[in-house]
Structure 1
Amino acid sequence: MLGVFISVALILGTANAASLGSVYTEGGMVQGKSHSVGLFRYMDVFKGIPFAAPPGRLEKPVPHPGWDGVLKATDYRMRCMQLNLLATDVVGSEDCLYLNIWVPQGNTVSTNLPVMVFIYGGGFLLGGGQGANFLDNYLYDGQEIADRGNVIVVTFNYRVGSLGFLSSGNAEAPGNYGLWDQHTAIAWVHRNIRNFGGNPGNITIFGESAGAASVNFQILSPKNKGLIRRAISQSGVALCPWAVNRNPRQYAEEIARKVGCPTDSGMVACLRRTDPKAVTLAGNVKFNPIVHNLALSPVIDGDFLPAEPDTLFGNAADIDYIAGVNDMDGHIFATLDIPSINNALVQFFLKLSIALSESRGTDAGIATYEEYTANWGSKPSDTDIKKTVVDMETDYIFLVPTQATLYLHSDHAKSGRTYSYLFNEPSRIPVFPLWMGADHADDLQYVFGKPFTTPLGYFPRHRDVAKYMISYWTNFAQTGDPNKGESSVPVTWPEFASNGHQYLVINNKMNRDSVKQMLRTRLVYYWTNQNMDIL
C-alpha cells in the first residue's frame, strides 16, 4: 500500500507541478527546463541568458540588443576566453556574457524569493559560471542551494585575464572590464529577477577566491548603490595583496611586447586589433612567489573603484557581510612556492619570508621569519616546518587581509551586520598528510551540495558539513542573520562586532565550542602594523 500511495502522490505532484514556462526579460522571452527534485518539489533552470551584448575588446559591457521569439535557455554558454590549465593554449570565446538561473518551485509558482548571485574564482585569470565539470556534474550547479534553502541561485560569466583586466593605466583602456561585467550581471538580475519569482530588494552576492575579492569590490563600489543587500566572501577580499594591480602599465606593456605591439600611444589600438588568443596567451606573466604572479587584477581606476579599497567601506555600511577563510588556504600556494613542501627545508622558508616581505626590505623578511619560527626550538621537525610555511602563506595571502576587512566593515557599519568564520574541514585529497586542514577552494564542494548530488563520493559527515553551510548561507540570504531563516543550524553564529570579535569554526563536529574569538590576532597585528601595508 505504501508503494501505491507514493506512486499516486508522485502522479498528483507531477500533474500539479509549478513551472514558470516562458519568462519575459528586457531582451525578450526565455524558456528554460523544469524537472522534479523531490516529492512536490521542482526546479526551473535557465542556462545561457545574455545579460549584455558580446563585449568590445578592452571596453565596458553594453546592453544586449534583444531577440525575437523565445530564446531556448537550456544549455551553458562558452566561458570567457582564457588560458587553459597548462597555460599552453586558450579556451572559451569573447562572446561570453551569459548567466544561469535556478528557481525552486512547490505546488505553486514561487514569488519574492531571496536571490543569491555567485561570482567564481580563478585568480582573475580563469573560471566560468558553470565551474569545473565531471560527467555533466558541474561544480557551480545551483540546484542544491536553491532547493534546500528555498532561494533563487544565479551564476554568470565575466571576462578574465588580459581581456578582462589589462589596463593601460589611463583613460584609453582603464581596465576592470571583468568587474564591470560582474556589475552588469548584478544590475540585470536586479531589473529582471522579479519575473522569475525573485525579490530584487534582497540580493546576496557570494564568491570564492578572486570571486570573493570581487564580491568585496562590488559592495565597495559606488556603482552598485541600492543593488546589493548582502554579501559573502569565501577566501578573498579587496585588501588581499594579489587583489589590486599597482603597476598596470608595466604589465600592459609586457603583454604588448609579447604580441608585437608598440608600448607608446598606439599600444591600446594595436591590442584591440590583435588576435585575442595571442593577447590572452601573453597574459601569462610569471613572477615569484606565485602570489605576485596574479598581476592581471583590478586597478584603482577612479571610476568603478574611485579610491583605495580601505577608504570605501562607507559604501557597504548598510550591507550585511560574511567573510572568512579556510584554515590552510595557503597550502596550494606553498606547494608552488616551495616545491619541496613535502620535504621542506629551512633555507627555502627564509627566502620565502623575505620575498613576501619585500615591500619593507630584507630586515623585515628576517623579522617575519623569526616571528613564525619562534616556537620551533633548536631542531624543528619536517612537519613543524611544513605547517609553518602553510600558516605564513595563509596569513599573508588570505587570513590577515580578511580580518582587516572585517574590522573595517564592522567599524563603518550602520545597519549592516558583520560575521566571521574559519572553515577547517580536513581536505579529502588522499595524498595529503594527516595534519592537513582545509585547502584553498575545499569549501566550494560543500556550499554547492556535492555530498548530496554525488553521495557515493562522500561520507555522512561530509553531508553534515554541506547541510550546515547551505543552511547558514541561505538563512543569511533570507534574513541577514545566518541563524534565522527556513533552515535549522547546529550552533548560533554571533556577530563579529559583539564581544571579542567572535568567529564560527565550520566543520562536521560543530558544537558550542565552535564559537571562538580573536582569530590569530597577534599575527594580524604583526602584518598590518609592523610588516606590510595591508591597511
Structure 2
Amino acid sequence: MLLLVLLSGVWLNSASAAKLGVVQTEGGKVEGKNYKMGLFRSVDVFKGIPFADVPKKWEKPKSHPGWSGILKATEYRDRCLQLTLLQKKTHGSEDCLYLNIFVPQGGSLSMNLPVMVYLFGGAFLLGASNDVEVLGNSLYDGKELADRGDVIVVTVNYRVGTLGFLSTGDARLPGNYGLWDQHAAISWVHRNIEAFGGNPDNITIFGQSSGAASVSFQMLSPHSKGLFRRAITQGGVALSPWALQKKPMALTKKIARRVGCSKSNEDEMLECLKMSDPVGLTLAGKTDVLLILGKGTVMDLLELSPVVDGDFIPDHPSKLFHNAAQFDYMAGINSMDGHLFAGVDVPSINMKNETTVKEVTGLLSGLTKEKGNAAVSSAYDVYTSHWGLTPLQAVVKKTVADIETDFLFLVPTQIALQLHANNTRGARTYSYLFNMKTRIPGFPIWVEAEHAEDLQYLFGKPFSMSMIYLPRHRDLSKYMIAYWTNFARTGDPNKGDSRVPVLWPVFNKHHQLYLTLNHKMNKNSVSYDLRSDYVNYWTRTYSTLPSIKTPN
C-alpha cells in the first residue's frame, strides 16, 4: 500500500509538471512563472516582454535591441504615459511597449495552440494590458481564458492620449502611433509565439470599446495582410462616431495653446510641440467635461482617436472592408452599451425625477447637430413611436439609453457586420447581443448590460473570484469562453474543443442572424435583424438628410 501511494504521488507530480521554463525569443531569453490551475493543469505566465524599443515622441515603434542573459518576465511593466481617471495628474511611462503571455499546459507541453491577442479599451486616452485591479487580480488576467479555452492569451500595451494619437492630418504629424504599436505587438507575436507553443498562422485579435475599434482598424489596414486570421470586436468598430478624428489640426492647435506652443506658423508650432515635456503634453489632452454641459454630448469629449493618414488607414474605414475579406469576424455589443454615456448626457434617467421630452430632444440635437432640426424631428418620431399618449417614465428613460446605445455602438457595429459579409471571400461573419442584467448596484431596474460588463465573464472572473459571483454567472462565463475560443481555434464558434449551449448561425447579406448571450441560453437565443427599424433609420433616412454648416 505504501509503495502504491508513493508511485501515485510520483505519477501525479509528473503529470502536472509541464511548464515552459526559459524561452528563446528574437530579443533574448525570457523566463516566466507557472501557476497551478488544477490537478493536471497549469498556466505559464510571462509578464513584461518588450515587443519594441522605447518609442520616440510621435514616431513609429522600432525593433527592440534585445538583452543578454535571461529576462525575468514575472512583473507587469508600466502602462503608457496617460492621464489618471480624474485627469488631475498623469501616471505611466514612455518606456511602455511590453506584452504579457498566458500559455495553458497539461501533462505535456502545449504545441500549435490558437493565439488570442487582446487590445484594451479606454477611449484611446486610458488603459493598460493589466488594467482594473480587483483584489490584486487584473481584469485582463488571461489565466482562466487560456486554461478553460486551451488557447494562448496575449495582452499588449500601446500609446494612448496625446502621445498616441495627436495628428495634423498630414505627413508632418500623421498620427495613429497607438495603432502602429498594436501592429508591432501583433507582428512580434506572429514572429515569436511558436516558441511558446502557439500557432503563428492561427492568431485572433480581440478587443473592447476603443480596443474593439482598434481591432477593426487593424482588420481594415493594408499593413495587416498575413499577420492574423480572425478578429472579434466587442462594443466598438472603426465606423463608430467616436473612433475617428474629424478635425485633427484644430485639436493639435488646441493642445499647442495649452502647452504654450501657440504660433501662427504651423511648422514652428510643431517644432515647439516636439520639444515639449511629455507629461505636460499628456495633461493637455484632458477632456473639457464642463464644456458639454447643456450644449453637447459625451461624444464631443472623445477627441483623440485615429485618423485617415493615407498609410495605416489609407481611406475612410467604410471604404476599406475589402482588406478585411480574409478575416473571420465576430462582432457584437452589450444591450446597454450607451447607458453610462446617456447618464452623463441626461442625468435624470438614473434619478427619481422626471425625464422630459425636452431632455430627449436635447440629446438628439447634440448627437445629430451636423444634420440640424430635421434630424431631431425625424429621430424623435422613430424613437417615441411606441410611447403612447402617456408613457411610463421607465419607458422614456430606457429610450434615452437606447438612443445612445444605437448611435454610439449598435448601428456602427451592424454596418460593419454588413460590410464584412458583403465583402468576404470565404471568411465567416457572426453577430451577437450580450444582455446579461447589470451587476452594478444602484441603477434602475430597467438597466441591462452596461458597457464593458461582458469582460468579466470572458476573462473568467466568476471562476477566479467565485465568492462574489453566483452559479448563473459561471454558466455565462463558460458559454462565452467556449464560443470565443472555439472561434479562435476554427473560425466557427460552434466547433472546437468546447461544447456550446446553442448553435450560433452565420450572419450573411441575406440572413442577418444574431445570438443573444446570457445565462439562460436556448433555441430562442437566436434571432434576426437586430433592431432593424432603428438601424434602417440611421443608415437610410438619417444618412440622406443634408448636412448643415457648423462653425469650427
Match of 1:161 in 2: 161
Amino acid corresponding to residue 304 of structure 2 in structure 1: L
Asked if residue 433 in structure 1 is aligned to residue 432 in structure 2, the reply is: no
Would the aligned equivalents of 1:331 and 1:390 in 2 still touch at CA under 8 Å? yes
Match of 2:457 in 1: 446
For 1:302-335, what per-residue CA distance to the aligned partner results, in whole angstroms no more than 9, with x for missing partners?
A: 0000011111111111200000000111100001
For 1:336-381, what per-residue CA distance to the aligned partner results, in whole angstroms no more than 9, with x for missing partners?
A: 1112222322211111111111111122112111211122122222
Match of 1:507 in 2: 518
TM-score, normalised on structure 2?
Answer: 0.94
Counterparts in 2 of 1:371-410, with a 5 A limit? 371-410=382-421
- In the alignment, the residues of structure 2 paired with residue 10 and residue 210 of structure 1 have an alpha-carbon distance, to the nearest angstrom, of 49
Could you tell me how far 1:5 is from its partner in structure 2? 9.0
Q: Unpaired runs of 5+ in structure 1?
A: none
For 1:382-403, what per-residue CA distance to the aligned partner results, in whole angstroms no more than 9, with x for missing partners?
A: 1111100000000000000000
Could you tell me how far 1:500 is from its partner in structure 2? 2.5
3-state SS in 2 of match to 1:473: helix
Counterparts in 2 of 1:215-294, with a 5 A limit? 215-263=215-263, 264-286=266-288, 287=292, 288-294=296-302
Counterparts in 2 of 1:82-161, with a 5 A limit? 82-161=82-161
Asked if residue 419 in structure 1 is aligned to residue 421 in structure 2, the reply is: no
3-state SS in 2 of match to 1:360: coil
CA gap of 1:273–1:362, structure 2 versus 1, over 3 A, is same
Match of 1:12 in 2: 11
CA gap of 1:267–1:14, structure 2 versus 1, over 3 A, is farther
Q: Unpaired runs of 5+ in structure 2?
A: 546-552
- In the alignment, the residues of structure 2 paired with residue 513 and residue 489 of structure 1 have an alpha-carbon distance, to the nearest angstrom, of 15
Amino acid corresponding to residue 481 of structure 2 in structure 1: I
Which of 318, 325, 336 is the matching residue for 2:326?
318
Would the aligned equivalents of 2:111 and 2:198 in 1 still touch at CA under 8 Å? yes
Could you tell me how far 1:108 is from its partner in structure 2? 1.2
3-state SS in 1 of match to 2:370: helix
Which has the larger displacement, 475-484 or 131-140? 131-140
Amino acid corresponding to residue 296 of structure 1 in structure 2: L
Would the aligned equivalents of 1:166 and 1:175 in 2 still touch at CA under 8 Å? yes
Would the aligned equivalents of 2:332 and 2:431 in 1 still touch at CA under 8 Å? yes
Could you tell me how far 1:407 is from its partner in structure 2? 0.3
Would the aligned equivalents of 1:357 and 1:368 in 2 still touch at CA under 8 Å? no
Amino acid corresponding to residue 361 of structure 2 in structure 1: L
Amino acid corresponding to residue 12 of structure 1 in structure 2: W
- In the alignment, the residues of structure 2 paired with residue 41 and residue 89 of structure 1 have an alpha-carbon distance, to the nearest angstrom, of 42
Counterparts in 2 of 1:36-115, with a 5 A limit? 36-115=36-115
Would the aligned equivalents of 1:132 and 1:138 in 2 still touch at CA under 8 Å? yes
CA gap of 1:488–1:533, structure 2 versus 1, over 3 A, is farther
Amino acid corresponding to residue 305 of structure 1 in structure 2: I
Match of 2:335 in 1: 327
CA gap of 1:10–1:378, structure 2 versus 1, over 3 A, is farther
- In the alignment, the residues of structure 2 paired with residue 368 and residue 114 of structure 1 have an alpha-carbon distance, to the nearest angstrom, of 44
Amino acid corresponding to residue 57 of structure 1 in structure 2: K
Match of 2:530 in 1: 519
Amino acid corresponding to residue 14 of structure 1 in structure 2: N
Would the aligned equivalents of 2:19 and 2:44 in 1 still touch at CA under 8 Å? yes
Could you tell me how far 1:285 is from its partner in structure 2? 3.3
Counterparts in 2 of 1:19-38, with a 5 A limit? 19-38=19-38
- In the alignment, the residues of structure 2 paired with residue 347 and residue 265 of structure 1 have an alpha-carbon distance, to the nearest angstrom, of 46
Amino acid corresponding to residue 339 of structure 2 in structure 1: H
- In the alignment, the residues of structure 1 paired with residue 311 and residue 24 of structure 2 have an alpha-carbon distance, to the nearest angstrom, of 32
Which has the larger displacement, 36-45 or 299-308? 36-45
Asked if residue 340 in structure 1 is aligned to residue 337 in structure 2, the reply is: no
- In the alignment, the residues of structure 2 paired with residue 385 and residue 165 of structure 1 have an alpha-carbon distance, to the nearest angstrom, of 37
- In the alignment, the residues of structure 2 paired with residue 459 and residue 374 of structure 1 have an alpha-carbon distance, to the nearest angstrom, of 38
- In the alignment, the residues of structure 1 paired with residue 298 and residue 395 of structure 2 have an alpha-carbon distance, to the nearest angstrom, of 22
For 1:143-173, what per-residue CA distance to the aligned partner results, in whole angstroms no more than 9, with x for missing partners?
A: 0110001000000100001010010222111
Count of aligned residue pairs for this structure pair: 533
Counterparts in 2 of 1:342-381, with a 5 A limit? 342=350, 343=353, 344-381=355-392
- In the alignment, the residues of structure 2 paired with residue 327 and residue 482 of structure 1 have an alpha-carbon distance, to the nearest angstrom, of 20
Would the aligned equivalents of 1:168 and 1:268 in 2 still touch at CA under 8 Å? no
Could you tell me how far 1:491 is from its partner in structure 2? 0.1
Match of 2:550 in 1: none
Could you tell me how far 1:7 is from its partner in structure 2? 9.4
Provide the aligned C-alpha RMSD in A. Answer: 1.7
Could you tell me how far 1:222 is from its partner in structure 2? 0.6
- In the alignment, the residues of structure 2 paired with residue 378 and residue 513 of structure 1 have an alpha-carbon distance, to the nearest angstrom, of 32
Would the aligned equivalents of 1:121 and 1:209 in 2 still touch at CA under 8 Å? yes
Amino acid corresponding to residue 198 of structure 1 in structure 2: G
- In the alignment, the residues of structure 2 paired with residue 5 and residue 512 of structure 1 have an alpha-carbon distance, to the nearest angstrom, of 50
CA gap of 1:408–1:11, structure 2 versus 1, over 3 A, is same
- In the alignment, the residues of structure 2 paired with residue 445 and residue 529 of structure 1 have an alpha-carbon distance, to the nearest angstrom, of 36
- In the alignment, the residues of structure 1 paired with residue 279 and residue 543 of structure 2 have an alpha-carbon distance, to the nearest angstrom, of 37
3-state SS in 1 of match to 2:181: helix
TM-score, normalised on structure 1?
Answer: 0.97
Which has the larger displacement, 34-43 or 475-484? 34-43
For 1:53-107, what per-residue CA distance to the aligned partner results, in whole angstroms no more than 9, with x for missing partners?
A: 0100111111111111111100000101111111111111111000000001112
3-state SS in 1 of match to 2:347: coil
Amino acid corresponding to residue 231 of structure 2 in structure 1: A
Counterparts in 2 of 1:151-190, with a 5 A limit? 151-190=151-190
Work out the percentage of aligned pairs sharing the same amino acid.
57
Would the aligned equivalents of 1:10 and 1:40 in 2 still touch at CA under 8 Å? no
Amino acid corresponding to residue 141 of structure 2 in structure 1: D
Would the aligned equivalents of 2:418 and 2:509 in 1 still touch at CA under 8 Å? no
CA gap of 1:513–1:260, structure 2 versus 1, over 3 A, is same
Amino acid corresponding to residue 344 of structure 2 in structure 1: L
Q: Which runs of 4+ in 1 moved over 4 A?
A: 4-11
Amino acid corresponding to residue 327 of structure 1 in structure 2: S
Could you tell me how far 1:533 is from its partner in structure 2? 7.8
Could you tell me how far 1:13 is from its partner in structure 2? 3.4
Amino acid corresponding to residue 213 of structure 2 in structure 1: A
- In the alignment, the residues of structure 2 paired with residue 269 and residue 135 of structure 1 have an alpha-carbon distance, to the nearest angstrom, of 45
Could you tell me how far 1:133 is from its partner in structure 2? 0.5
3-state SS in 2 of match to 1:265: helix
3-state SS in 1 of match to 2:416: helix
CA gap of 1:40–1:359, structure 2 versus 1, over 3 A, is same
Amino acid corresponding to residue 325 of structure 2 in structure 1: A
3-state SS in 1 of match to 2:287: coil
Amino acid corresponding to residue 466 of structure 1 in structure 2: S
Could you tell me how far 1:267 is from its partner in structure 2? 2.1
